Structure 1
Amino acid sequence: MYFTARERNLLRLLTGHEQLRTVKELAGELGVSERTIHRDLSVLEKTLDGFGLSLRKQAGVGVSLEGDPTGVESLRAALTGAPETDFTPEERKTHLLCTLLETSEPVKLTVLARDLGVAPATVRQDLERVEDWLHPFDLALVKKRGWGIQVIGGENNRRAAMRSLLADHVDEAEILGLLKQSLGRKALEPSGIIMERLLGLVERERLVQVEEAVQAEIGGLPYTLADSAYIGLVVHVALALERIEKGETLRFDPDLLQSLQQGQEHEVAKKIAARLAVVSDKEVPDAEIANIVLHLRGAKRGDDRGFWFEDDSGTTVAETRELIRRVGEEIDVPLEQDPSLIRGLLAHLERAVYRMKENLPIHNPLLERIETDYPELFETVGQVMEETFPHYEIPREEIGYLVMHFGAALERRQRGRPLHALAICASGIGTSKLLASRLQTEFPEIVRVDTASFGEVRRTDPQKYDLILSTIPVEMDGIDYIRVNPYLSEGDAVRIRSYLNERRRRQAVKMQPERTGEVTDEPRILESMKTIRKTAEIALTLLEGYSLSSLRDSSLSGVLQKACGRLEAEGILHDAATVAGKLAAREQLGGLGIPGTGMALFHGRSDRVWKPSFTMYNLEQPLEVEGMDGNRMEMTRLLLLLAPEKEEEAEQELLSRISALTIEVPALFQSGGEGDIRAFLAEQLNRTLHEKLDEQRSVEP
């Protein structure tokens, strides 16, 4: 049986001659906080149960073991026979960092040595490496004989270091799943114990509470969060609560604090804090709410344009183009006409500038590999960034992400076009979305990732994709895919890169023209141009037909009839009564209300609809409808999405995009005006059109 050093020492105290001890006494003996003792005792309860023992906790008296005396003897024997931990130097460093960052009090050298099962001299050597690791966070290690060892520095820096320590050892996407696992330990190796120590920085139950609070309120943002950013936010807030309970809170400059107490992010942050105050019985200070605002603004997805840096967006665009021009000049490769590079860099730089302005930390797990793969490009981008953004200190992690964009652009020039991938999981919603996010982080040259469930794969044309990945077995003819972990491990990334390189080599051989003078493929080029034209025409039809108006009727069927009647008058459809009837029937098959809003999205295809249409209606008299979650809700705004019976692929793609946007950005569609929503739709459909252009570049001669 395996025990950590601290667990072994704690159990030895409880099985000793003086078997009744207070938590305060136990904490003093082991040199840790009382809260740590409570946590360790909770973890050990299942272990004790295996010996027929239980913990008896008497308030004001102490803690003792209860049960069969032979169980106590068996436990003593197990402690004697349990192997001492043999940690690697890196594991010892991580363990020391966890201990020292978690406490604001000095810890004695002998206590640290006892926890690790090594000599004090070994810990002294390890502390030199700990000191080096802390330096970039502006944290210092103070060591005084007879007093102990303590980390000194700002609370914000301490939290940044704790988040980085977690991110260094555990993929952000894995943290949530690992912390939600049962408290029983499964790993018996030292590395497993180090993982437990890392995850001990945040209580698992608390992480679940924080996630529920964040999930309930982020729908109020006018943009969505990337999966990794969402998980990072949850971990950040959970760490903040841990620190608040220890009396460690942040302080903000009054002017900065006032500026952060405005906007939708602040409203969302206040609601998250209110939920957490209820479950933790601790009021969240204004400075902590402001810090949540900072992280909300820094965690925004890169593809929600139009809701970010409204005042500064022109400057960011100019600087982005200047960065591309300068880097292109330095490496002697023209990059200014690469739309994917421009869009990708602009989206990233908007967030990066905000992070640098507010000194928000960023972690880049791929930094070492990026520096190895692109050493000259890394130095070039770093130098040009310093000249383009002279007022900011630019972290190497940030430069690494930018190099990935430039590296992808260079590969696109060699390959001739960007890549299109498909991610498959059991439902098509959860892990495939996570996989898609990880994939585009690791491979920026993949400009588009579609997601699908196992059932949807059967209706998918695999020839449309350069790469198909799946988190589940897919036993179907014609599907050439790579099985991967949802978190895209380093091994997965190596296999994917190898596959793409081999595929590119085969295509290069296949496309070598015979020297007959005929090197073009006119039919494919014409078909490509027709596809682009059709997509643009449908996007224009949807934008020109979009409207937001008001309706009044006491029944759902009446509202649908009036809405369809207006569209009939505009030449969008005919036989309004039949179309309205089909929409009402569709509502009977399942809820159409969007949970957490006052909106319902009615949609359908009909041979009585002439052209695709998206319109919205404010209801002067709210109506009760069934929500997508099965609960009844009050509809105050009707969203109507219609398509002809024989829907073309481009129509389906654009209408699906609009449908997804109503779920991803509910706040805008719930309360936005007609002009704001039309502008947002124009921006999103234009983005889709550019993606289609990127896809079709593969047919160019």
Structure 2
Amino acid sequence: MLILTERQKNLLILLQKAQGGIGIKQIEERIKVSRRTIYREFKELKKPLQKRGLAIVTIEGKYQIQGQTEDLNELKDDLGEDNPRNEMSVSKRQNALAIKLLFNDEPQKIIALALELHVSEATIQNDLRDVGKAISEYGITLIKKRGVGVYVKGTEITRRQVLCGILLNEINEYRFFNYIENNQYEQEYFLNLIERELLQEIKIDLKKSILQEISLASDHQLMQLILMFAICLMRMQQGQVIKADAKIDDKTLKYQGLVYEFLTNYEKKYPLQVLRQEVLFLAKYVESCDQEASPVFYDDDQELLLSIKIKQFIQQVSNDIRWDFQRNPVFFQKVTKHIGGIIKKKVNQLPNSPIETLTRVSEQYPKLFASISQSWQDNFPTNTLPISELQLLLLYFANELKNRRYQVKVSFLIICENGIGTSSILASRIQKEIPNISNIKVSNVSEVRKLDLSQYDMVLSTIKLPGFPRKYQIVSPLLLDEELGRIKDYLEKSQRKMQENIAVSKENVEKIINHDPIQGLNEIAISSLFCSDLVNGIEVKRLNNKTTLIDEVVDEIVLMVTTSIIRNRTEVAQNLKRRISLAPIGIPDSSIALLHTSSQEIKRCYFTVIDLSCPIRLKAMDQNEIEVTRILVMLGPKNLSEVEQKVMGLISSMIIMSDQSLSLFEKGSKQQIQDVISKRFLQEIKVGIPI
């Protein structure tokens, strides 16, 4: 984005329209300003024009803009009278103002800031009040001195962190990498604050050193590293270094070595004196981006506060559903990392549009989804999530629910003749053998009538209790192995029942048949035939892909599908590419992607598996990048019947619903995949038709 004052814009338009150039006297007359002012404007325009490959030159006393035809045409388009003026929003302008002050150590004149951002001095004064308040929260002070200007004061570390945070908030990662890799000019104020050549050099040197030894979660983190290294190098070149007494963790030897290697490569091209404190700071920053580093640590109070809020969020869902989602540390770390990325904008949110695979999960677990949605609103009221992002959180919880056993916290009531002695032995044995106990209450017979029996999941007694108002099990004080096995079986059945209650209940066959016997029988037959045809048509094919570009891989996959399935390959390929552009198709923590679409050019439902000879890198639904070696392809006609919709949705939900099924779809053979889908269809037919 070329930020110009009205006068600068008029000056450039005048120079561009003047064929063969224009003299300084004519410029004075047309712009109606002094010669001195014009020269000052030429000086102000020099750098922004240079970034676009342009320059104001004088030939035989006449001024003109010189550059490649393509660059001149781009400038013409930007200056065109029909184009609206590039104006910033208030928040963007204030961020631009903050960046200007943080990058420069010398006081800035109010009038110069107003001219650069093409607003009035009064607007800049108002903006400075807001900027000062915002940066003060980070320990940076905004200082205004009459006749001198405005500047900021704070530690060098904080200055760099705030600079990087603003840039990360304002720069779109797609445009960022397009700007670096394609050498294309971007009309983006914040992108053009750092020289493209510097960003390119940093990316190259990072790949040669640091990126070979660490694992990043996303392109956003790569952009974060590039920007921070750029900021640090620029500040060092300005002579602004981190003070030797700054408190930085010195326990990052691995990352210090990587930073030294990077700086060695960089110094071969650009001489730079680097102090140890600079290396320590960058090493700590690299460590914070490394996926392989310690999974949970808190750099400051904000990190700790966020962790507490996430824990409260998970606790609220656990209490609501009566299922302990906090016991598995791996699950907690995954959810913490994902939510942390959303809150701190380290990952992009999913689009606010339906994603079929995730929608199916929310339909299958409506109670759990409602609990997650409400808990999010209660714990993160200022961070509104699109429905697809809430459904992705549901996927984490649903997987944990499906994969873990004995996670329900249970409460025992133990009744003994006198409530002492043998009861303590029994309670101790239960605590040792059954770890997921929230409470054990020991009571004698005379006190049991005073208790609220509904508070206990299981009642054990060492004596018979004639007329007792609920089910109980008689056990010996020593709790024999046979008795312990009986208790565990009961708990497992209770857990399965709770899982069924959390998931949506299905109508059973008997209800359907009793309601309309003939219709019920027809639905069973139709569903069975459709499932049988779909399963028999499953194939596992190998694609010798010659490219790692997903659009080109899609074209190759569509060519593998026969004309008995597809009428118009071009139309189907375009639909698949549009689907990919909407949201990530990779399955989190796997090497597979789910590629699906519906179209009038598809004759019938189709599911197949494509193994790639050359892996490709794609974003998964959790915004992390994965290496994909297998693509699951699901195609369907435009208007699916109810049975077709449910069957295809069932397959997609099977893929992501448990670690075991995910592994099977990731590595399984044709026969194994056919078998597991067939078994699931049979289960569904037994408990409810249509599927």
TM-score normalized with structure 1 length: 0.47
**Radius of gyration: which is bigger?**
2
